[in-house]
Amino acid sequence: MSRHLTQRLAFGLLILATLATTVPIVLIVGYIAAAGLPAISLEFLTAMPRDGMRAGGIWPAIVGTLLLTAGTAVVAVPLGIAAAIYLAEYAKDTPLTRAIRIAIINLAGIPSVVYGLFGLGLFVLFLGFGTSILAGSLTLAIMTLPVIISTTEEALRAVPQAFRVVSISLGGTKWQTIRRIVLPQALPGILTGVILGLERAAGETAPILFTAAAFFLPRLPNSPLDATMALPYHLFVIATQVPGMPVQIQYGTALVLLVFVLSMNFFATIIRSRARARRQW
Amino acid sequence: MKIVIEHLSVQYDDGTESLRDISLTIPANQITALFGPAGGGKSTLLRALNRLNDLVDGVRVTGRILLDGEDIAGPGVNVTALRRRVGMVFAQPVPLPMSIRQNITYGLELAGVRERAKLTAAVEKSLRAAALWDEVQDRLEAPATALSGGQQQRLCLARVLALEPEVVLLDEPTSGLDPISTAKVETSLQAIKRDYTVVIVPHSVQQAARIADLAAFFLQGELVEAGPGQQLFLTPKDQRTNDYITGRFG
């Protein structure tokens, strides 16, 4: 076989592989958009569900997902960034810190339903939060932490060591160096990781299944100790648990969840590309 | 005498020795050049003078370094204050990812200086001392990375001078620069020694001979000999020094 032919063949295979991964995504998103769009109306987005969820809107589920995501962010973002700063900037290479790193990597691989059961045991039952936004947010936060910690640590380590040495040599303390040089330079990377982590939390069903989600609750939550409806769980419910459910409402709900998650993704991409264009190293 | 080094040794955890029992006196307001082949311990000595060796794990320093009679090598030294008194310019110019002006004011702001007038004055004064003012005065807000390599290195010198240190350390500051930029840096070193004590690891024997008031020859962690530049380069006492400066090795 001539080298040119090999080249063409390899090139063709690579294009095929790319198409094989992107085409299904486009088809799925396109299909859900086409099937769900007719259901979208102001009422659908802002009204309470009626007739056993077969009519009306999904307002409480939207609010619930927003609250759960916000609650997750409040807990996981400061904790995750602080842990990453410790690991990247302060922790020496000891058996203990190596064990912590391995634990974090492994935590990221744990199935989300296990987090759900853990949240049920610790937050709902043992700490007595009940099925609530608080318990759900804490469970989602624990699930999201490994993602935030490892992406933040990576972003911090990507900042050139020379900047740190220069800052120290100019009489800076370690913390001054981190706050004034390292963190600002790593911020776009950190934000990207945070958004991707929260995006996963927003779309998860299993962790909130036992900790926060209500099957049908046609009112908005009053306190963090209230249970709530949420988009992913609501979708699961109306797709499998309610007989005689109009298909349109199912796809409409899926579309809202998809738009919510994809717009977070889009936001992360914009932050990253703008930072890359501005970066001086 | 600005700095008196007494029996200084630097060892690493793995047993290797970077400096062995160095004693050297560095006079104020002169240029002292530490020269010799790579791996001789010159940079390690520079980094001992402003405690940058502290950043490396597993380094053990013994002996004394007296700055104006006060030991700066031992424990209990305020190292951030020390680093403001003993500034450092590195081989690779590393402008911080900010504007030219912010690069100069960075160290002062870390030290708690807030007054705008003071900062503005420091920017002009230090850029003039580093012979860079004429080239950048119209674009102080431009990113420092937009400067050429030679300009960046003079910016790094200006950044150190802005802190008004007593001692300026330079670790092969012209190794990446063309001859014209090198000459500019050397000229500004000659100019600043009136106000500062300068310790430089030159990037060649020729540069050492051009600028050294006092020269010290290092070989494999040992200080072979030290003396006034004129005398050391014309009539070295030690055969090894003679071999090195006449180009027999190195």
In this prediction, residue B250 has a pLDDT band, given cuts at 50, 70 and 90, of: low
Give the distance from residue A22's alpha carbon to the nearest chain B alpha carbon, in angstroms: 37
Give the distance from residue B249's alpha carbon to the nearest chain A alpha carbon, in angstroms: 32
Report pLDDT for B15.
76
> Is there a contact between B97 and A180 if contact means CB atoms under 8 Å apart?
no
User: Is residue B21 over pLDDT 70?
Assistant: yes
ipTM of predicted assembly, 2 dp: 0.91
3-state helix, strand, coil in chain B (%, to 5): 40, 25, 35
H or E stretch at B163: none
- Which chain A residue is nearest to residue B158, measuring alpha carbons? A170
> Is there a contact between B110 and A279 if contact means CB atoms under 8 Å apart?
no
Residue from A90, A170, A181, A182 whose CB has the most chain B CBs within 10 Å, to mutate: A170
Give the distance from residue B225's alpha carbon to the nearest chain A alpha carbon, in angstroms: 29
**Per the structure block, which two tokens stand in for A72?**
């997750």
* Calpha distance A60→A216 (Å, rounded): 9
Report pLDDT for A272.
85
> Is there a contact between A170 and B94 if contact means CB atoms under 8 Å apart?
no
> Is there a contact between A171 and B111 if contact means CB atoms under 8 Å apart?
yes
Report domain extents, chain A. 58-278
User: Is residue B181 over pLDDT 70?
Assistant: yes
Residues of chain B contacting A160 with CB distance shorter than 8 Å: 94
Which among A165, A171, A281 is the nearest to B110, CB-wise?
Answer: A171
Which residues in chain A come in under a pLDDT of 50? none
> Is there a contact between B80 and A172 if contact means CB atoms under 8 Å apart?
yes
Q: Number of Cβ pairs closer than 8 Å across A and B?
A: 64
User: Rounded mean pLDDT of B139-161?
Assistant: 94
Which among A171, A176, A181 is the nearest to B84, CB-wise?
Answer: A171
When the pLDDT of each residue in chain B is averaged and rounded to a whole number, the result is 93
> Is there a contact between A165 and B50 if contact means CB atoms under 8 Å apart?
no
Give the distance from residue A175's alpha carbon to the nearest chain B alpha carbon, in angstroms: 11
* Calpha distance A141→B210 (Å, rounded): 63
Give the distance from residue A166's alpha carbon to the nearest chain B alpha carbon, in angstroms: 7
The dihedrals phi and psi of A187, each to the nearest 5 degrees, come to -55, -45
* Calpha distance B162→B111 (Å, rounded): 11
| A contact set with B (CB within 8 A) | 92, 160, 162-163, 165-173, 176, 180-181, 185, 279-281
pTM of this structure: 0.86
User: Is residue B16 over pLDDT 90?
Assistant: no
Residues of chain A contacting B145 with CB distance shorter than 8 Å: 280-281
Give the distance from residue A162's alpha carbon to the nearest chain B alpha carbon, in angstroms: 7
* Closest C-alpha to B217, from B249, B246, B245, B189: B245
* Closest C-alpha to B2, from B220, B242, B195: B195
Measured at the CA of B189, the angle between CA B183 and CA B191, to 5 degrees, comes to: 105
- Which chain A residue is nearest to residue B80, measuring alpha carbons? A171
* Calpha distance B241→B247 (Å, rounded): 10
User: Is residue B212 over pLDDT 70?
Assistant: yes
> Is there a contact between A185 and B163 if contact means CB atoms under 8 Å apart?
no
Instruction: Report yes or no: A228 and A67 within 8 Å, Cβ to Cβ.
Output: yes
Give the distance from residue A80's alpha carbon to the nearest chain B alpha carbon, in angstroms: 25
Residues of chain B contacting A92 with CB distance shorter than 8 Å: 57
| B contact set with A (CB within 8 A) | 50, 52, 55, 57, 80-81, 83-84, 87-88, 90, 92, 94-97, 106-107, 110-111, 143-145, 156, 159-160, 163
> Is there a contact between B81 and A170 if contact means CB atoms under 8 Å apart?
no
Q: Quick one: B237 exposed, middle or buried, by C-beta within 10 A (0-12, 13-18, 19+)?
A: exposed
Neighbours of A61 (CB within 10 A): 27
Report pLDDT for B25.
96
Q: Does domain A58-278 have CATH number 1.10.3720.10?
A: yes
Residues of chain A contacting B50 with CB distance shorter than 8 Å: 169
**Distances, alpha carbon B105 to alpha carbons B101, B140, B159, B166, in Å:** 6, 11, 7, 18
